[in-house]
């Protein structure tokens, strides 16, 4: 397995801040000694990267040490900020090579949480929403097409919502758990492999977009799929692992070629001398840049649940949901349950925020005591807006403010969008009309669904 998260023992002081936040107890070592990551337990969430306090200093490590470590990690010479002991392994060189090769068609997609994080790395206030500047910045880097993972989040809801209804009405296996957080999927595979069939078979938005880019996208843009190099910008360090899983090749190619974090995108923009905050607001390329408010809230805890309910309500009852804002799905306490009336059905939901809170839920499921239909699990403290790949917060006092501001900006963006339900996205309707035909149909099953094995390796279901 390729290494995603690493701890540099030359820099680690053994403060153990990292082991306190590790949700699967994968960090081992004595206090005041360099810590090690047990890769057989690591879920690659990157929270250790966010919390790490040990960094390269001239006083301790000598002149030239910053440049030496920067080079070891394959980071551009323009990176001048502190380099910490815990870090995610970069793939910037692959992205730069692709961008510089005129024969390669470079397509990029950015996740919902990126737009409330990226501006922070250029000195903007915590949680600044920069959706339009993000599209402009990606274009200035030279990407041929700039798409939005939010489009695929809307498609995810069509598939996952239909899958939930199918399970509820046809006595399928319940509860169904969300599967869009790869660190959670890996945690389940490592700790509760026998419960893996409770996972939704719907892929994450990143992998749905990846599979669609090299099939539907190649067709609509009249580009040969084999020429497309697909890059994802993610708030999450585990997405690189997810994209390299052996089953993520349903387009006939590697569905997503490389993933970089929000921090790495900032390195790239600075390397190219792009003044992010002065960029104009631009739109994403169509059709795979069209999105609704439901897709945007995927980045916050409870958001996937709320987005699914906005559409699921209508699919079940044939009527519009009375209130689009579903407050019962919001908040970031460890685990909460709610019962929501959907026509004649009382839909029982559960929401896990922070992977440390999932164990009692899984134990209840094992004991046959988890009376829920649908459970969302997010590994990071307040969902993807607090992912391991978001801009690094150095001061502890900044964490709560950043979390609150990024979530607030996400909900504000949802409110201002003209369409707030996934099934009303016109580009998604067109995708089903002309290409997929219907949710859970043959083409959807082939491209957008998968199954997971119990040994953290996996295979495809068809």
Q: Residue 179: which of 207, 209, 211 has the closest Cα?
A: 207
DSSP state of 194: G
Q: Are strands 374-378 and 345-353 parallel, antiparallel or unpaired?
A: parallel
| Residue found by looking up tokens 């079940």 in the block | 316
DSSP state of 408: H
- Residue 461: per-residue pLDDT: 38
Same domain, 317 and 205: yes
Residue 6, H or E segment: strand 5-7
pLDDT of residue 184 exceeding 80: yes
Same domain, 240 and 344: yes
Please state the φ and ψ torsions of residue 388, each to the nearest 5 degrees.
-65, -15
- Residue 367: per-residue pLDDT: 96
Same domain, 204 and 55: no
When pLDDT is cut at 50, 70 and 90, the band that residue 126 belongs to is very high
Residue 88, H or E segment: strand 86-88
Q: Tell me if 453 is assigned to some domain.
A: no
| 3-state SS class at 107 | strand
The neighbouring-strand residues paired with 148 are: 110
Tell me which of 344 and 206 has the higher pLDDT. Answer: 206
pLDDT of residue 159 exceeding 50: yes
User: Which tens digits make up the pLDDT trace of 406-437?
Assistant: 999 999 999 998 999 999 899 999 999 999 99
- Domains contained in the chain, number: 2
The neighbouring-strand residues paired with 347 are: 340
Same domain, 62 and 204: no
User: Which tens digits make up the pLDDT trace of 26-37?
Assistant: 999 999 999 999
- Residue 1: per-residue pLDDT: 67
Please give the residue range of the domain that contains residue 329: 146-448
- Residue 31: per-residue pLDDT: 96
Q: What is the mean pLDDT of the chain?
A: 93
pLDDT of residue 462 exceeding 80: no
Last residue of a domain, one of 89, 104, 134: 89
pLDDT of residue 377 exceeding 50: yes
| 3-state SS class at 59 | helix
Last residue of a domain, one of 46, 69, 89: 89
Same domain, 177 and 78: no
With b meaning 16 or more CB within 10 Å and e meaning fewer, what string describes 295-317? bbbbbbbbbbbbbbbbbbbbbbe
Q: Percent of the chain having pLDDT more than 70?
A: 97
Q: Tell me if 292 is assigned to some domain.
A: yes
Own/partner pairs, 137-140, CB within 8 angstroms, 24+ separation: 137/265, 137/269, 137/274, 137/276, 137/279, 138/108, 138/110, 138/233, 139/282, 140/269, 140/272, 140/274, 140/279
When pLDDT is cut at 50, 70 and 90, the band that residue 457 belongs to is very low
Contact 138, 242 (CB under 8 A): no
- Residue 183: per-residue pLDDT: 97
- Residue 302: per-residue pLDDT: 84
pLDDT of residue 372 exceeding 90: yes
Q: Which residues are catalytic?
A: 160, 163, 180, 200, 239, 242, 247, 384
Contact 432, 426 (CB under 8 A): no
| Residue found by looking up tokens 């169904």 in the block | 176
Residue 64 sits in a domain whose CATH number is: 3.30.70.20
pLDDT of residue 459 exceeding 80: no
pLDDT of residue 454 exceeding 80: no
Q: The whole model's pTM is what?
A: 0.94
């Amino acid at each position: 397995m390729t290494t995603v998260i690493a701890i540099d023992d030359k820099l680690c002081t053994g403060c153990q801040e990292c082991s306190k936040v590790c949700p699967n107890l994968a960090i081992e070592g004595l206090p005041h000694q360099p810590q090690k990551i047990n890769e057989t337990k690591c879920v690659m969430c990157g929270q250790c990267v966010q919390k790490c306090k040990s960094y390269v200093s001239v006083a301790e490590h000598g002149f030239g040490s910053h440049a030496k470590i920067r080079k070891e990690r394959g980071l551009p010479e323009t990176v001048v900020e502190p380099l910490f002991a815990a870090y995610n392994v970069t793939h910037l060189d692959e992205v730069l090579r692709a961008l510089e090769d005129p024969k390669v068609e470079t397509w990029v997609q950015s996740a919902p949480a990126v737009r409330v994080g990226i501006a922070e790395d250029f000195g903007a206030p915590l949680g600044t929403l920069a959706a339009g500047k993000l599209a402009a910045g990606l274009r200035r880097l030279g990407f041929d097409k700039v798409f939005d993972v939010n489009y695929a989040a809307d498609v995810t809801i069509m598939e996952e919502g239909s899958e939930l209804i199918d399970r509820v009405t046809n006595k399928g296996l319940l509860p169904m758990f969300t599967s869009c957080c790869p660190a959670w999927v890996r945690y389940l595979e490592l700790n509760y492999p026998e419960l893996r069939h409770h996972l939704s078979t719907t892929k994450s938005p990143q992998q749905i977009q990846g599979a669609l880019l090299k099939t539907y996208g190649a067709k609509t843009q009249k580009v040969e799929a084999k020429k497309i190099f697909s890059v994802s910008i993610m708030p999450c360090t585990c997405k690189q692992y997810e994209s390299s899983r052996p089953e993520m090749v349903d387009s006939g190619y590697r569905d997503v070629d490389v993933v970089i974090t929000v921090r790495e995108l900032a390195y790239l923009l600075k390397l190219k001398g792009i003044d992010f905050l002065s960029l104009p607001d631009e739109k994403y390329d169509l059709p795979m840049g069209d999105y609704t408010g439901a897709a945007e809230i995927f980045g916050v805890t409870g958001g996937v649940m709320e987005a699914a309910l906005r559409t699921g309500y209508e699919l079940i009852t044939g009527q519009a949901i009375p209130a689009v804002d579903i407050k019962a799905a919001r908040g970031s306490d460890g685990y909460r349950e709610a019962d929501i009336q959907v026509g004649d059905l009382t839909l029982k939901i559960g929401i896990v925020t922070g992977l440390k809170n999932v164990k009692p839920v899984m134990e209840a499921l094992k004991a046959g005591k988890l009376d829920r239909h649908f459970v969302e699990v997010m590994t990071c403290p307040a969902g993807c807006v607090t992912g391991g790949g978001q801009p690094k917060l150095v001061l502890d006092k900044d964490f709560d403010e950043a979390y609150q501001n990024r979530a607030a900006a996400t909900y504000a963006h949802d409110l201002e969008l003209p369409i707030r339900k996934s099934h009303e996205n016109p580009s998604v309707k067109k995708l089903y009309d002309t290409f997929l035909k219907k949710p859970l149909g043959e083409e959807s099953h082939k491209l957008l669904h998968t199954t997971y094995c119990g040994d953290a390796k996996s295979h495809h279901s068809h």
